[in-house]
Each structure stands twice: as C-alpha cells, then as structure tokens.
Amino acid sequence: MSAPLADDALAPLAQASPLLALFDIDGTLAPLAPRPELAEVPDATRRALADLAARPGVRVGLVTGRAAHDGARMVPAAGLWVIGNHGVETWDADGTRRVAEALVAAAAAVAREAAALASPVAAVPGALLEDKRWGLSVHTRLAPDDAVPALADAVRDVAAREGLRVHDGKRILELRPDAELDKGTAVLALAARLGALAPAGAVLFAGDDRTDEDAFRRLRAAGARAVTIRVGEADVPTEADWHVASPVEVAALIGRLVELRGPVAERAER
C-alpha cells in the first residue's frame, strides 16, 4: 500500500541529471471522462508540463494506452516524449517515431479483431470500440453493468482466436499483441536510452490504472532511483511508493517539480 505523497518525497529529484518525469494521461493528467474523446488535460497542467520540460536536465514524457498521436494531441507541448499503446509505439521529442519491430505484423490481427467486435460492441448501449491500429480498447463506462460480463466474454473469445491478450482496466478492456511489452518495459527502455537509470539520473512516474502498475513494478525491480505515484483512491493495492488523490494534485506536484528544478537558465544542451 502506498503512502500519501510526503512534502519531501520529490526532494531527491531536485539535482538528478537527467530527471525523466513520466505521466499517464487519463485519470492522471486529465480527469476521467465517459468517452475518450471527451477527456481534456487542463490548460494549467499543460503549461506546467511545458515549464518542466524547459528546465535543464529534465525530460518529460507521456505514457498512455491511447495511440501516441492521440496522446500528443492532448498535450501538444514541444519537447515531450510519448509512449503510446501501452508501450508498442514511442514518439521521441525530436519527432522520431518508433514501433516495436516484432509487432508490426500484428496490425493485421488487430484489424481483423476490430471487424469481428464491431457488431457485439455496437449491440451494447454505451459501449465503444476504439481502434488504435496496434491495439484495441473496448470502453464500457457508459454501458449497463449487467451487459458488461457478456461483452467481456465476447471480447475474450475473439482475442483468443487472433492470439491477442486482454487486459482489464477501469471500465475498459485493452486488447494488445501477445508480446512482452507494456508500460513498464517501455518506461525502462526510454529511461535507459536517456540515461535516467545511471547513478546521477532519476525517474518519476505517475499513473492511476492497473496498466501503470507494470511501470511501478519494473522500476522497483530494476533498482532505479525512482519516485512512483499512484493517482486515485488511497486504499487500492499498488506497487507505487506514494499516492495522490486526483489530477488536481498531479498538477500541483508538477508545479513543485518546476520550483525544485529552479529557473530556466540559458538554453542548455538537451
């Protein structure tokens, strides 16, 4: 169980170089919405992320189940990394786009599954099928509770035929290629690439859902100097060290990080 974020919990990040600060989007930067297209990251949070990314020695990234292009749309600040589709794709701060090579062929299976699920999802009022090319999401936040189990069974049956994995989230079923890729593997890969796993570096990761637990768990197992934060209810079992209650508190902690890192100096080499 995590503890409430302490006043001094972020202090070890003040001098880390580089500091890699990573944030889930839905439920972390943006309040949860009934439909994915209705979610918005508040303007103040966007500005705080841009301010943080401008600090020398700081790298800022988004880690989301959304497609990478959708994550970038929600936080259109310059100089951000974006990990999308739960680790399948990464957009570097310079615009370079990377897709796990082993999963390129999986796009065909995802397309077939999207076609197979169109009717079962449409038959459930309020359910929504989101095609993210490298994965699918079936949203059930607006669906009747008694209709969700049968829809989940249909999703699992189709996924089994196509060799895809099903992951449960907050009123959402995530369908992904059958590979050892998740937010945790992607976070560690990016942290290693940017030098944040070195003795002088550090990682901050904040997220609110079950899929974010992969990142909390892998950062701990790797022995990284990391501050991990679960967003939401305090009594939810988690691998994170700390918790905050809401995206409002996440915005506040980003502001604290900006203050810890000090004023923007002359443009540092990034």
Could you confirm whether 24 is annotated as catalytic? Answer: yes
- Cα separation, 37 vs 140, whole angstroms: 14
Residue 153 zone, left/alpha/beta (φ > 0; ψ -120 to 50; rest): alpha
**Strand stretches in the chain, DSSP E:** 3-4, 19-23, 58-63, 80-84, 89-91, 97-99, 128-131, 136-139, 164-169, 172-177, 202-207, 226-231, 242-244
Q: Which two tokens stand for residue 115?
A: 């076609």
What element of type H or E holds 150?
Answer: helix 148-162
Which residue out of 24, 51, 182, 212 is catalytically annotated? 24
The DSSP bridge partners found for residue 230 are: 207, 243
| Catalytic residue IDs | 24
